[in-house]
Amino acid sequence: MADATSKLREIWSGLETKGQLTVIGSAVAVVAVFFLLFTYASKPSYSTLYTGLDLADANNITRALSAAGIPYRLTAGGTEVDVQSGKEAQAQVALAAKGLPSSGHVGFEIFDKQSLGATEFQQQVNYQRALEGELDRTLMQISGITNADVQLVIPQDSLFADQATKASASALLTTSQPLDASTVRGIAHLIAGAVKGLSPDDVTLTDQTGNLLWPQSAAAGSSAAAATIEANQQYASQLSSAINAMLTQTLGPGKAQARVHADLNVDQTTLDKITYGKGTPTSSSTDTEQLRSKGGGTALPAGASSNIPGYANASGGINSSSNYQHKIDNTQFGVDRTVEHTVVAPGKVNRLDIALLVDTSVPAAQANALERSVAAMAGLDRKRGDTITLSRLSFAKTAAPAAPAKKGPLANPLGLAKYVLAAVGALVFLFLMRRGLKRREGEAVAEPVWLREIEGPTPIAELEVAPVRTALDPAQERRATVRAEVEDIVRREPEQVAAQIGQWLKE
């Protein structure tokens, strides 16, 4: 190593001022590139932990993070706390141990410390505060809600029902994105379910702009219209996706496209139906009466004269026989009645309109066949008024799909860039150094007289007469040998050469 150092020193002393400045400039550029890369690589990255905090909560959180030794930074005017990437879980555990963030909301931990002198009124107020705080924390866990402030009105129990008042609640929600109708309805029912005797209709929800979110009775018409539009769009989107998947599988990508417009009946109706059929016999009875007579006694005629004594003997009477039969059938039938109570679910299709676009490269016969297939797939009913329109036009050429995301070391190009730039900087430095050495080799060197005399032809007679001269100047021979050795060292060990030059620059 000492020999290599001495040889490099000789090379350095043998360079001109321009060459030395070039080497120094290259070394300084490499050092600057390495410094910038090291600074960029060593700079920690941060990820957002909490947003929308008040200043009191932000102060408590930063103190807890400092005590836990977790790097952090405050942004967005002190309302957002970011921690170093990779330490999010550690920060959340450290903050949870201290009950942060609380956002000024006190939960049921208010009862952890009880006072013996607390009155019933104080207990009731603390319970209401604790319930409000727990509801605030629960609502803040919903996606899209950054802060919540719930106010409850809990009436006292009364012995008389006519003197009792209803419970009510109001909540101010600070949202980072608009909440859909189902989420708002869920929040109202969540608050109502946590308070005794509270109905969802008595819950009032507003956002940070003062917009009324619940109840929606004031905008029942617009809410129903929004629900109808959403249902139509969802049904049309699902049907369009299924048809387009079939078209792509049949023709390939970029050959056909379908759009569906759906009109659904989203009204929920109830159907009551009563049907009377043939009666079913429940009981049956038969009454039979029969009277038979062969004659015998004198049968007197009817009337008053037959009651006169001696009339029968005078008239001689009437001798007759009889055969009397009487039969009555009695059958009772029950009422055969069927009662049907049916709840018709919403979603019945009133009408479907389909626009089918096909590229001109598709043959007409195949396009017509696709039209029939799409109509059958969508369940089109011409009697219902459904329509399908086929249009053939030239599609725009789609760009080639992007390459899938790479995995492994190339998945993080920024992390790999610092190593690539370091390698490029080292190669640039070695290239500049080698080019400087090559330039020195190519420079014209004054050729000594003795060298020309050696290279030139000399007659044998002169050699016999001329005195014997030294082959080469020892200094020149040593300098050429050193140069050859240095070039060989640079080719074999460029890293050590670069390190030695850096050491010289430091000195």
* pLDDT at residue number 242: 93
Which residue has better confidence, 440 or 367?
367
User: Residue 245 — pLDDT band, cuts 50, 70, 90?
Assistant: very high
Statement: residue 405 has pLDDT above 80: no
What's the whole-number mean pLDDT along residues 76-104?
79
Q: Which of helix, strand or coil describes residue 70?
A: coil
* pLDDT at residue number 274: 80
Instruction: Identify whether the C-beta of residue 256 lies closer than 8 Å to the C-beta of residue 395.
Output: no
> pLDDT tens digits, residue range 221-242?
556 677 788 888 989 999 999 9
What's the whole-number mean pLDDT along residues 375-401?
86
* CA–centroid distance for 507 within its chain: 59
Query: Which range (140-144, 223-227, 407-411) has the least confidence?
Result: 407-411
Q: Which residues of 204-237 are buried (b: 16+ CB within 10 A; e: fewer)?
A: bbebeeeeebbbbeeeeeeeeeeebeebbeebbe
Q: Per the structure block, which two tokens stand in for 203? A: 């819950």
Separation between Cα atoms, residue 431 and residue 25, nearest integer Å: 13
Which residue has better confidence, 45 or 277?
45
Statement: residue 300 has pLDDT above 60: no
User: CA angle, 492 as apex, 491 and 495 as ends, to 5°?
Assistant: 90
Instruction: Kindly state the percentage of the chain with pLDDT values over 70.
Output: 73
Separation between Cα atoms, residue 252 and residue 264, nearest integer Å: 31
Instruction: Identify whether the C-beta of residue 185 lies closer than 8 Å to the C-beta of residue 198.
Output: no
* pLDDT at residue number 469: 47
List CB contacts of 110: < 8 A, sequence separation 6 or more. 126, 129, 130, 133
Statement: residue 455 has pLDDT above 60: no
What's the whole-number mean pLDDT along residues 373-398?
89
Separation between Cα atoms, residue 391 and residue 357, nearest integer Å: 5
* pLDDT at residue number 219: 47
* pLDDT at residue number 258: 94
* pLDDT at residue number 423: 76
Instruction: Identify whether the C-beta of residue 62 lies closer than 8 Å to the C-beta of residue 81.
Output: yes
Which residue has better confidence, 503 or 318?
503
**Identity (one letter) of the amino acid at 106?**
V
Element containing residue 284 per DSSP (H, E): strand 280-293
Tell me the backbone φ, ψ of residue 344, rounded to 5 degrees.
-85, 115
- Taking the CA atoms of 160, 161, 165 and 169 in sequence, report the sign of the dihedral they define: positive
* pLDDT at residue number 238: 92
What's the whole-number mean pLDDT along residues 461-476?
54
* CA–centroid distance for 436 within its chain: 58
> pLDDT tens digits, residue range 184-225?
999 999 999 999 889 999 999 999 888 889 987 544 555 667
Q: pLDDT averaged over the chain?
A: 77
Tell me the backbone φ, ψ of residue 436, rounded to 5 degrees.
-65, -40
The winner for highest mean pLDDT among 103-117, 376-390, 407-421 is 376-390
The winner for highest mean pLDDT among 268-277, 367-376, 436-445, 476-485 is 367-376
Instruction: Identify whether the C-beta of residue 102 lies closer than 8 Å to the C-beta of residue 108.
Output: no
* pLDDT at residue number 321: 64
Q: Which of helix, strand or coil describes residue 499?
A: helix
The winner for highest mean pLDDT among 14-18, 335-339, 370-374 is 370-374
Statement: residue 178 has pLDDT above 50: yes
Statement: residue 466 has pLDDT above 50: no
> pLDDT tens digits, residue range 34-86?
777 777 766 778 888 877 677 777 888 888 888 888 888 888 777 788 888 88
List CB contacts of 349: < 8 A, sequence separation 6 or more. 235, 262, 263, 264, 265, 379, 384
Which residue has better confidence, 97 or 132?
132
